[in-house]
Structure 1
Amino acid sequence: MLSVFVCLCFITLTAGMSVEPRCRCSGFESRRVGKMIDRVELFPPNPHCTNTEIIATMKHSGQQICLDPKAQWVMKVVEKIMANRSP
């Protein structure tokens, strides 16, 4: 009887947990924050997330925010990053 109870508790606790990673961003920032950005990371679409995700780390706070990949100023930032990576 105890083993059934333990098994049911385990199933209940793990039912809401996902084994696969999901998208990192749930919302996007579209206002210009370019001068406050310390670092930008670009994550292309993958099997777990079909969105292009652009995550910026802010200079003073270290906070990470998701940038709107459709915002014009964000596209320019990405272009600069890609140009600097090219040999």
Structure 2
Amino acid sequence: MARTATRAPRLLGAALLLLLLVPAARRAAGAPVVTELRCQCLQTVQGIHLKNIQSVKVTPSGPHCAHTEVIATLKNGHQACLNPEAPMVKRIIEKMLSKGSNN
């Protein structure tokens, strides 16, 4: 009986930890962009074809995040964080800026 009594707190602790981690894992897997006062991009991609991009938002580094963040809104409504140092991303930003200045 003493053995069962010592396992109960461990099982309770493990169950509680699991309940806390499952919602966090779902948010991280489903959304690359976080809407809090910290870095929004958890992971970046090297580039996306320009025809798939609807708009691009560049957020310079600041107190909320030490990195420049480039967030592309795709034509299908999804958002993707782009690596601002990637050559393809730099070209995408240049094209989007020149497209905006021509309007």
Q: Pick the TM interval, shorter chain.
A: 0.5 to 0.7
Task: Write out aligned runs for 1:1-87 (5 A).
Answer: 21-60=37-76, 62-83=77-98, 84-85=100-101
SS of equivalent to 2:89: helix
Q: Secondary structure at the match of 2:57?
A: strand
Higher helix content, 1 or 2: 2
Gaps of 5+ in 1: 1-19
What is the alpha-carbon root mean square deviation over aligned residues? 2.1
TM-score normalised to the size of structure 2? 0.55
Q: In the TM superposition, what whole-angstrom CA distance separates every residue of 1:16-71 from its partner, at most 9, and x where no partner exists? A: xxxx71100010011432210001000000111010000001102x0001011111
Corresponding residue number in structure 1 for 2:11: none
Shift of 1:74: 0.6
Tell me which stretches of 4 or more aligned residues in structure 1 moved more than 4 Å.
Answer: 82-85
CA shift for structure 1 position 79: 2.5
Secondary structure in structure 1 of the residue aligned to 2:45: coil
Rg bigger for which structure?
2
1:26, 1:41 → 2: CA distance? 16
Work out the number of aligned pairs and report it. Answer: 66
Structure 2 gaps, min length 5: 1-35
Deviation, 1:73, is: 1.1
The SS at the match of 2:81 is: strand
Q: Percent identity, aligned pairs only?
A: 40
